[in-house]
């Protein structure tokens, strides 16, 4: 089916309901900032019609069966609290927000496979790539990128590539696919840094040996170093497999203005990364899910730049 739009945006309204404690970096303003960046890149917002039954089934492909009900129960409390680790502040709306991000992710996969777009961008909040099989961590509750890759596999993609360029290593995604050869996981990130994983010698295990590739970078890396690492990693992907679909953990906390990242990437660097991923995908479906990025004006510009690069529109 012919694509009707180069870029769709999927944003579930419940994602704004996650309200961490005052001063937490993962604040609701991030969603509005990222959404504005997608709008500037020409994204057309699509409706999301995914029920909780399907969303929870997708969560269960990646996470232990008790994670979702534990989170739901914790969010029914009446006082501010944390979940599984001290940096995962929760509120009454956190469970619905995390499930809303999953629903948006699945809607993005549906749109791509129906030929409604060449690329789909998911305004996933809270983010997901640190979420482990049995527990949440690092601002993350459900692993949206892993859920997307599993959905694509279940819908017929023989091979999927997950590309993570967030400044923090996507440990939850890596753990999930570490021993598998049907999903290639590539991460470019600061190292050593939170969460402590992502060394260059982490390359997968068993059947999955060679299907994980990490490019750990020293603090302060700018556009040329970061982009070169992504380019080298994409070459690694293509030497090993020819993905039928691509998932991008699109974190923008490597931006020079970000308060958490300690890197020096500009919005132009993210545009270059988008172009590289689009070139490697060569017309195959691309689903990009929002991960980090904690300075709101930089986040707007970074999302705009990356998505412009991804769909080849350029920036005015």
User: Each residue of 196-234: pLDDT tens digit?
Assistant: 999 999 999 999 999 999 999 999 999 999 999 999 999
pLDDT tens readout for residues 75-89 = 997 566 999 999 999
Cα 59 from chain centre:
15
pLDDT at residue 1, as a whole number: 38
Model confidence at 131: pLDDT above 70: yes
Q: What is the mean pLDDT of residues 298-306?
A: 98
Half-sphere exposure of 36 (CA within 13 A, CB side): 11
Model confidence at 310: pLDDT above 80: yes
Tokens of 294: 């904690």
From residue 188, alpha-carbon distances to 120, 143, 168, 221, 306 in Å are: 21, 18, 8, 11, 15
Q: What is the mean pLDDT of residues 39-58?
A: 97
Q: What is the mean pLDDT of residues 119-144?
A: 98
Domain 7-311: what homologous superfamily? Answer: Histone deacetylase domain (3.40.800.20)
Instruction: Determine whether 130 is an active site residue.
Output: yes
- Pairwise CA distance, residues 197 & 168, whole Å: 9
Q: Tell me which H or E stretch contains 185.
A: strand 183-190
Confidence of residue 313 (pLDDT cuts 50, 70, 90): confident
Model confidence at 31: pLDDT above 90: yes
Token match 């260059």: residue? 200
Average pLDDT, the chain: 96
Q: Above pLDDT 90, what percent of the chain?
A: 96
pTM for the whole structure: 0.97
Domain boundaries, the chain: 7-311
pLDDT at residue 4, as a whole number: 59
From residue 245, alpha-carbon distances to 112, 153, 250, 277, 287 in Å are: 10, 9, 16, 11, 8
pLDDT at residue 56, as a whole number: 98
pLDDT at residue 80, as a whole number: 66
Choose, from 12, 63, 130, 304, the residue flagged as catalytic: 130
Q: What is the mean pLDDT of residues 182-195?
A: 98
Model confidence at 3: pLDDT above 60: no
pLDDT at residue 270, as a whole number: 98
């Amino acid at each position: 089916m012919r694509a009707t739009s180069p870029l769709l945006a999927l944003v579930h309204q419940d994602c704004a309901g996650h309200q961490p404690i005052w001063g937490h970096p993962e604040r609701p303003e991030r969603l509005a900032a990222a959404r504005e960046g997608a709008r500037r890149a020409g994204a057309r917002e699509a409706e999301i019609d995914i029920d909780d039954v399907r969303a929870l089934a997708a969560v269960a492909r990646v996470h232990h069966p008790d994670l979702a009900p534990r989170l739901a129960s914790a969010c029914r409390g009446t006082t501010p609290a944390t979940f599984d680790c001290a940096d995962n502040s929760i509120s009454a709306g956190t469970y619905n927000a995390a499930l809303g991000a999953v629903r948006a992710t699945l809607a993005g996969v549906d749109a791509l496979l129906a030929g409604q777009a060449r690329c789909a961008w998911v305004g996933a909040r809270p983010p997901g790539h640190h979420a482990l099989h049995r527990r949440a961590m690092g601002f993350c509750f459900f692993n949206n990128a892993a859920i997307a890759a599993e959905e694509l596999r279940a819908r017929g993609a023989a091979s999927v590539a997950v590309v993570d360029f967030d400044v923090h290593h996507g440990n939850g995604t890596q753990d999930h696919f570490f021993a598998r050869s049907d999903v290639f996981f590539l991460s470019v990130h600061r190292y050593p840094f939170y969460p402590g994983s992502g060394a260059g010698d982490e390359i997968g295990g068993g059947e999955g040996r060679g299907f994980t590739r990490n490019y750990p970078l020293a603090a302060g890396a700018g556009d040329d170093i970061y982009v070169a690492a992504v380019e080298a990693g994409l070459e690694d992907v293509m030497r090993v497999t020819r993905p039928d679909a691509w998932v991008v953990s699109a974190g923008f906390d490597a931006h020079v203005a970000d308060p958490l990242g300690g890197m020096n990437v500009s919005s132009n660097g993210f545009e270059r990364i988008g172009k590289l991923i689009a070139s490697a995908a060569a017309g195959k479906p691309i689903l990009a899910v929002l991960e980090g990025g904690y300075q709101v004006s930089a986040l707007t510009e970074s999302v705009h730049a990356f998505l412009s690069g991804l769909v080849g529109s350029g920036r005015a």
